[in-house]
């Protein structure tokens, strides 16, 4: 699979995960392993380390929203790669 395809697959899987269409395990099993593409690696890292929202040891709702915005920006960047 070429790099462009990997970028689009990563973005599609992330969108499916956030729409509750696939589980985290499905995301992990199908996510492209492209260690040369820092954006793909960063997106997986952000998803894997998404902080808990609210409650004990959680971040504020606004901090969580900012975190999700960063994920969304990265998904969009991967979707629009080489277009």
Confirm whether 83 is domain-assigned: no
| 82 or 13, greater pLDDT | 13
pTM of the full predicted structure?
0.86
Confirm whether 49 is domain-assigned: yes
Sign of CA dihedral 5, 7, 8, 10: positive
Confirm whether 52 is domain-assigned: yes
Confirm whether 82 is domain-assigned: no
Q: Token pair of 78, please?
A: 């991967």
Confirm whether 61 is domain-assigned: yes
What pLDDT sits at residue 10?
96
Q: What is the pLDDT of residues 33-57, one digit of tens each?
A: 888 999 999 999 999 999 999 888 8
How many domains would you assign to the chain? 1
Determine how many CB atoms are found less than 10 A away from the CB of residue 25: 8
Q: What is the pLDDT of residues 7-39, one digit of tens each?
A: 999 999 999 999 999 999 999 999 998 889 999
* Contact by Cβ (8 Å): 54, 61: yes
Say whether pLDDT at 6 is over 70: yes
């Amino acid at each position: 699979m070429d790099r462009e395809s990997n970028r689009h697959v990563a973005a599609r899987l992330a969108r499916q995960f956030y729409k509750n269409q696939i589980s985290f395990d499905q995301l992990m099993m199908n996510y492209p392993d492209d260690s040369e593409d820092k954006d793909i690696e960063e997106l997986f890292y952000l998803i894997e380390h998404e902080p808990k929202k609210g409650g004990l040891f959680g971040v504020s709702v606004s901090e969580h929203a900012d975190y999700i915005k960063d994920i969304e920006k990265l998904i969009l960047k991967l979707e629009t790669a080489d277009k």
